[in-house]
Chain A
Amino acid sequence: MAKEDYEVVMGLEIHAELSTKTKIFCSCPTDFGGEPNTHCCPVCMAMPGTLPVLNEKVVEYAVKAGIAMNCDIAENSKNDRKNYFYPDLPKSYQISQFDMPLCKNGYIEIETKDGKKKIGITRIHFEEDAGKLNHDEYGGGSFVDLNRAGVPLIEIVSEPDIRGAEEADIYLKKVKSILEYIEVSDCKMQEGSLRADVNVSVRKKGDNKLGTRTEMKNMNSFRAIQNAVAYEVKRQIDILESGGKVEQETLRWDELQGETISMRDKEDAQDYRYFPEPDLALIHISKEYVEEIKRNMPELPESRKNRYISYYNLPEYDANILTSTKYFSNLFEGALEVCNNPKAVSNWIMSDIIGILNEKEINADKIPFTAKDLGELICLIDKGTISTSIAKKVLLEMFDTSEKPNKIIEKNGWVQISDEGAIIEVVNKILAANPQSISDYKAGKDRALGFLIGQAMKETKGKANPGMLNKMFLEELNKQ
């Protein structure tokens, strides 16, 4: 059988660090970086006799995530200990949630090439992150850094509803976007604040039974997931095609070698000996508490998208892109507060800004100017102060220097020439220098007009008002 006869079935377990100011069980800061073991106290270093005290913000953020992903919020929830030994886990157990997660039975909607699709969310629970091991490159040993130990996480477990790497990518991006919108996580994959365990199995199309799955741990880039899944799907199909059986095991994706490596099989699967955390009280979530959070929820991408379509008359395509991250969406809405031209703002974001971001390989959260700056730039075009082509140059400078558009225009002397006398002077000068173009135009070659306008733009370094140039060239040519 060919690859096309197989269906890929995937589920994702996404870990997102919550952006609370302090850790989950002590008051140490959650800031990324810092000298090793400087964001630590007796509690997160698991000194003997210390006890955890749950940061209520963590519960609030996890409930927010649950609401945003259409989950049932449990009235009663609890923490459990997950026991295992590793040097980055100072208590030798992780305080997590086992059989009574905070959120259950949710879903999110994604846009696939075949249209809208719901991906089920089995559960969302909260837990603490572990520390980090730094390995000395020169073989001098491994060093434990507990700055990250106790940073709060949520784990979002999906149903096996995802069919293939492309859907996984859309799903992961959607989850990331939601978490950013509701401001519970920074979702910085490069800093490890968003990472995913990916479960993959394959089955023959039409089969109802799930195939044996393998799990790839701690994937922290979109590209790695794409590559790893592609590799793993091929590996599993090859095994099945040659009459073999896929073993249930945990894998690690080796980006450099481009292959998955077995970490442990089912036989030595860890027994985490979960049991209820006796140091923490049961968590009771009242209906009023959930309602209160619902009332104060930021607007979600779905709702913003619908608003852009119905209120600003934007095409669905535009609305989808603008709401794909809160950074575009906030940029769009912020710019509109300054200039009332939704379509223009949308176009600038969708083509120029996204283009520059891609070219410079920077993320949307790193746009160095404000939404107001963008709004002003577009206002300047609308008022005729600058031309579109100048505006593009201004935008590039805004990316480089973070300066206000006015200042950039002034500094470079880019104010558009809209003075009739000045324009007519240029028009006459260009006409005098290009008699051939005049005869071409007279002979019906419309392209000659374009050439003349181009020459005039060159002469004025792009500052001449293109509308006025067009009008005056026509008037002068018709006189001749």
Chain B
Amino acid sequence: MELYELTVHELNEKLEKKEITSIDIIENYLKRIEEKEKDVQAFVTIGEKLIEKAKQNPKAIPIGIKDNICTKEMKTTCSSKMLENFVSPYNATVIEKIENSLILGKLNMDEFAMGASTEYSAFHKTYNPWNINKVPGGSSGGSAAAVAANMVPWALGSDTGGSIRQPASFCGVVGLKPTYGLVSRYGLVAFASSLDQIGPITKDVTDCALLLNYIAGYDPKDSTSVKTDKKDYTKALSNNIKGLKIGLPKEYYGEGINPEVKEAILRVAKQYEQMGAIIEECSISANNNALATYYIIACAEASSNLGRFDGIRYGYQAKKYNSIKELYRKTKKEGFGPEAKRRIILGTYVLSSGYYDAYYKKAQKVRTLVKQEFKKLFTKYDVLLTPTSPTVAFDIGTRSKNPLEMYLADICTVSVNIAGLPAISIPCNLDKTGMPIGFQLIGNHFTEELLLKTAYAYEQEEKFREKHKPEFKK
């Protein structure tokens, strides 16, 4: 068995027993990248002098970082021409926190995390390791594909409307979007500040808990991070979910959900029932407006957050201009891709005077309703079980021409961000074509332990990773 097939907790055991060193791990991963990167193209930047670095830190574990998380040691491009050569002068807080790590590389994504297929990267597409004609999902498509292809043992992604969970689901790996405020956003290039959250993408639930141990916690540099007690999330992992109340919100099982996906998730519910959980159908009606609400709020914030890319201080600058206005116009025209532009325009529109009340303000009201409905549901249920995505990974090129269809890929994930809740995606099965199906568990604020435990119990039961491996189908 190759080292790259192991999880991080398995690697840690071998490191502890001194059976291997970090150098072995790095060498093994570099070999794997050499083999598979040409098919998958998950990386924007691959780290340099990694073996020398491993020599200095013999217990270090490699990690892949989504390219919108700032690192001093290599470029942070957000997969955008705007930041093609940008090197951050500081490290994101999460980078400081994963101290015992070696950054293997920076991973591809939809430009500025806007998209659901990683096709909107300004540099290149990333391909799904299960079938390279399919997208890996997005926007953390590079992170999920790299973990699935065993090119990194684990990775950090970011999730604004499903950008960790949906690609995790498409690539058959585990992805957690933590409660808003659990993980510092300092150093995450902002897309939508009130929705963004950094989280782990891993091979299994134990690794997910382990990586969360590193990155969770209050950061004085992020005013929206929350003071919480330091926890060891791996301690929560157990098989015992007897009496756990699981709600199935019917809105997630209706129109637009692929029947095969629906069937797979209902089977998961059955398995949970057999393990002793109580399953009940429930409803969250505000969810029907969640997608529209999400796109209004996310675009509004994005239009403001992306304003700083103006060609003055860093990043791309238009070559020829005769006035400051022209510098701005050309820099943005040439530096941003179509999806970023689309969202900037949309966001600028919904914040404009005369439209603010009809769009932004109304969206904030719906946001409050969504929060309230979830709050009510969590008085009755411990966790909610839904599909992560209405479909399995789709073919490359089929949705990138139709933005609205692309937006629909987020339908199962956006409410969680709107309400600031934690949610995890776990693979459960393959569809007839051999593509992974993931399910989502949604918990109340700061119930990551319960979510991880529930996910872990299923993982122990189903053993998806042992049964299925990506085949790089062409």
Q: Is A76 an interface residue (CB 8 A)?
A: no
Task: Give chain A residues whose Cβ lies under 8 Å from the Cβ of B190.
Answer: 48-49, 279
Shortest CB-to-CB span from A281 to chain B, Å, is 5
Taking a contact as CB atoms under 8 Å apart, the answer to whether A90 and B223 are in contact is no
Q: Return the contact of A273 from the options B78, B185, B348 (Cβ within 8 A).
A: B348
Tell me which residues from 39 to 53 in chain A have a Cβ below 8 Å from any Cβ of chain B: 42, 45-53
Q: Return the contact of A53 from the options B69, B90, B221, B312 (Cβ within 8 A).
A: B221
Taking a contact as CB atoms under 8 Å apart, the answer to whether A279 and B313 are in contact is no
Tell me which residues from 326 to 378 in chain B have a Cβ below 8 Å from any Cβ of chain A: 328, 348, 351-353, 356, 360
Could you list 24 examples of A-B contacts with CB < 8 Å? A47-B88, A47-B314, A48-B76, A48-B88, A48-B308, A49-B68, A49-B185, A50-B90, A50-B187, A51-B223, A54-B223, A87-B312, A87-B324, A90-B312, A271-B352, A273-B351, A273-B352, A273-B353, A273-B356, A275-B300, A278-B224, A279-B193, A279-B224, A281-B224
With A85-B310, A144-B312 known, 9 other A-B pairs at CB within 8 A are A47-B89, A48-B70, A48-B314, A50-B186, A51-B222, A53-B222, A271-B353, A275-B304, A279-B190
Shortest CB-to-CB span from A218 to chain B, Å, is 18
Whose C-beta in chain B lies nearest to the C-beta of A142?
Answer: B324
Q: Given the interface contacts A47-B89, A280-B223, does A85 sit within 8 Å of B328 by beta carbon? A: yes
Contact flags (1/0) for B397-436 with A, using CB distance below 8 Å?
Answer: 0000000000000000000000000000000000000000
Q: Given the interface contacts A42-B89, A48-B70, A87-B312, does A278 sit within 8 Å of B301 by beta carbon? A: yes
Q: Is A441 an interface residue (CB 8 A)?
A: no
Question: Could you tell me the distance between the alpha carbons of A144 and B308 in the complex, rounded to whole angstroms?
Answer: 14
Task: Give chain A residues whose Cβ lies under 8 Å from the Cβ of B356.
Answer: 273, 275
Question: Could you tell me the distance between the alpha carbons of A90 and B307 in the complex, rounded to whole angstroms?
Answer: 9
Shortest CB-to-CB span from A431 to chain B, Å, is 83
Task: Give chain A residues whose Cβ lies under 8 Å from the Cβ of B89.
Answer: 42, 47
Taking a contact as CB atoms under 8 Å apart, the answer to whether B193 and A90 are in contact is no
Task: Give chain B residues whose Cβ lies under 8 Å from the Cβ of A6.
Answer: none
Which B residues are within 8 Å of any A CB, using their own CB?
68-70, 76, 78, 83, 86, 88-90, 92, 185-190, 192-194, 220-224, 300-301, 303-304, 307-308, 310, 312-314, 324, 328, 348, 351-353, 356, 360
Report, nearest first, the 4 A-B pairs whose CB atoms are least far apart. Answer: A92-B307, A278-B194, A273-B351, A278-B193
Taking a contact as CB atoms under 8 Å apart, the answer to whether A53 and B351 are in contact is no
Main DSSP-derived SS at the B contact region: loop
Question: Could you tell me the distance between the alpha carbons of A47 and B83 in the complex, rounded to whole angstroms?
Answer: 11
Question: Could you tell me the distance between the alpha carbons of A93 and B222 in the complex, rounded to whole angstroms?
Answer: 18
Question: Could you tell me the distance between the alpha carbons of A273 and B190 in the complex, rounded to whole angstroms?
Answer: 18
Task: Give chain B residues whose Cβ lies under 8 Å from the Cβ of A53.
Answer: 220-223
Q: Which of A45, A48, A87, A91 has the most CB atoms of chain B within a 10 A radius of its CB? A: A48
Taking a contact as CB atoms under 8 Å apart, the answer to whether A92 and B310 are in contact is yes
Q: Which of A49, A52, A93 has the most CB atoms of chain B within a 10 A radius of its CB? A: A49
Taking a contact as CB atoms under 8 Å apart, the answer to whether B223 and A81 are in contact is no
Taking a contact as CB atoms under 8 Å apart, the answer to whether B351 and A275 are in contact is yes
Task: Give chain B residues whose Cβ lies under 8 Å from the Cβ of A280.
Answer: 223-224
Question: Could you tell me the distance between the alpha carbons of A26 and B300 in the complex, rounded to whole angstroms?
Answer: 25
Task: Give chain A residues whose Cβ lies under 8 Å from the Cβ of B222.
Answer: 51, 53
Task: Give chain B residues whose Cβ lies under 8 Å from the Cβ of A85.
Answer: 307, 310, 328
Task: Give chain A residues whose Cβ lies under 8 Å from the Cβ of B300.
Answer: 275
Q: Which of A47, A81, A280 has the most CB atoms of chain B within a 10 A radius of its CB? A: A47
Taking a contact as CB atoms under 8 Å apart, the answer to whether B186 and A51 are in contact is yes
Question: Could you tell me the distance between the alpha carbons of A47 and B188 in the complex, rounded to whole angstroms?
Answer: 11
Question: Could you tell me the distance between the alpha carbons of A81 and B314 in the complex, rounded to whole angstroms?
Answer: 22
Whose C-beta in chain B lies nearest to the C-beta of A93?
Answer: B304
Shortest CB-to-CB span from B133 to chain A, Å, is 34
Shortest CB-to-CB span from A450 to chain B, Å, is 73
Task: Give chain A residues whose Cβ lies under 8 Å from the Cβ of B83.
Answer: 48
Whose C-beta in chain B lies nearest to the C-beta of A277?
Answer: B193
Contact flags (1/0) for A30-71 with B, using CB distance below 8 Å?
Answer: 000000000000100111111111100000000000000000
Task: Give chain A residues whose Cβ lies under 8 Å from the Cβ of B188.
Answer: 49
Shortest CB-to-CB span from B146 to chain A, Å, is 21
Q: Is A83 an interface residue (CB 8 A)?
A: yes
Whose C-beta in chain B lies nearest to the C-beta of A85?
Answer: B328
Task: Give chain B residues whose Cβ lies under 8 Å from the Cβ of A54.
Answer: 223
Question: Could you tell me the distance between the alpha carbons of A49 and B309 in the complex, rounded to whole angstroms?
Answer: 12
Taking a contact as CB atoms under 8 Å apart, the answer to whether B313 and A46 are in contact is yes
Task: Give chain B residues whose Cβ lies under 8 Å from the Cβ of A281.
Answer: 223-224
Task: Give chain A residues whose Cβ lies under 8 Å from the Cβ of B313.
Answer: 45-46, 90, 144
Shortest CB-to-CB span from A268 to chain B, Å, is 12
Task: Give chain A residues whose Cβ lies under 8 Å from the Cβ of B78.
Answer: 48
Question: Could you tell me the distance between the alpha carbons of A52 and B190 in the complex, rounded to whole angstroms?
Answer: 12
Shortest CB-to-CB span from B418 to chain A, Å, is 13
Tell me which residues from 265 to 283 in chain A have a Cβ below 8 Å from any Cβ of chain B: 271, 273-275, 278-281
Task: Give chain B residues whose Cβ lies under 8 Å from the Cβ of A47.
Answer: 70, 88-90, 314
Contact flags (1/0) for A400-436 with B, using CB distance below 8 Å?
Answer: 0000000000000000000000000000000000000
Task: Give chain A residues whose Cβ lies under 8 Å from the Cβ of B314.
Answer: 47-48
Question: Could you tell me the distance between the alpha carbons of A12 and B220 in the complex, rounded to whole angstroms?
Answer: 37
Question: Could you tell me the distance between the alpha carbons of A281 and B351 in the complex, rounded to whole angstroms?
Answer: 20
Question: Could you tell me the distance between the alpha carbons of A274 and B192 in the complex, rounded to whole angstroms?
Answer: 15
Contact flags (1/0) for A87-116 with B, using CB distance below 8 Å?
Answer: 100111100000000000000000000000
